[in-house]
Amino acid sequence: MLLDLEASQLVLIDYQIRLMPAMLEGPAVLANAQRLVEMAALLQVPTFYTEQNPSGLGATVPELQAPLRAARAATLAKMQFSAVEEGLGEMLRPPVKAPQGNARSLPKHLQKAAAGERDCIVLAGCEAHICLLQTALDLLEDEFDVWVVTDACSSRTERNRDAAFDRLAGAGVELLSTEMVIFEWLRSAEHPAFKQAQALIR
């Protein structure tokens, strides 16, 4: 199954000033996160980002600030390790207003709320074995399809990072890379954004 652009939302977990210097392969991970946000902005993919205990770990790193603004990203400050415990699920799947008027007189496709239109959550962040893992598992519980971008995730140690990926895969999370996300969103070299996508990964 390929990632569907029209069903996707992007969520970045805790790329924060006091956290990133301790992350394994931090600069490469951050560069991939930036590519994801820039691509999401280009393709108008709804984007969200979280900050764990921002008074302690600081704000999101400066490298992501401009891309996140361009993507019109919404932020969620949290103390729980799982962002779902702090309301992420409601942000990703807001309540749909009931259609106005006599339901029987409406076309069939308007008679039901259009819930679940963007249920593919593309997830990346730090630390992979704590906040990202717990958020991903809770999103699965809430019946989202979860896709974790492995080369845009990190932990302080390789063992913890890889243990997170093993557990996520076993739970049914799709594991993929930044370039896989980009080219599955595009699907074709004829996509209007193809040249801009190429520039992002060079």
Taking residues 169-198, report their average pLDDT.
Answer: 94
Annotate 71-110 with b (16+ C-beta within 10 A) or e (fewer). Answer: bebeebebebbbbbebebbebbbeeeeeeeeeeeeeeeee
Taking residues 76-96, report their average pLDDT.
Answer: 94
Mean pLDDT of the residues in the chain: 91
Decide if pLDDT at 172 tops 70.
Answer: yes
Around Cβ 44, how many Cβ atoms within 10 Å? 10
Cα angle 7, 11, 175 (rounded to 5 degrees) comes to 75
Taking residues 104-108, report their average pLDDT.
Answer: 53
Q: Which residues are catalytic?
A: 14, 78, 131
Decide if pLDDT at 101 tops 70.
Answer: no
Q: Using DSSP, state whether 113 is helix, strand or coil.
A: coil
Confidence of residue 111 (pLDDT cuts 50, 70, 90): very low
pLDDT at residue 112 in the model: 44
| pLDDT tens per residue, range 124-153 | 999 999 999 999 999 999 999 999 999 999
Decide if pLDDT at 41 tops 70.
Answer: yes
Q: CB neighbours of 34 closer than 8 A, spacing ≥ 6?
A: 63, 64, 67
| Domains recognised in the chain with CATH numbers | 5-90+119-201 (3.40.50.850)
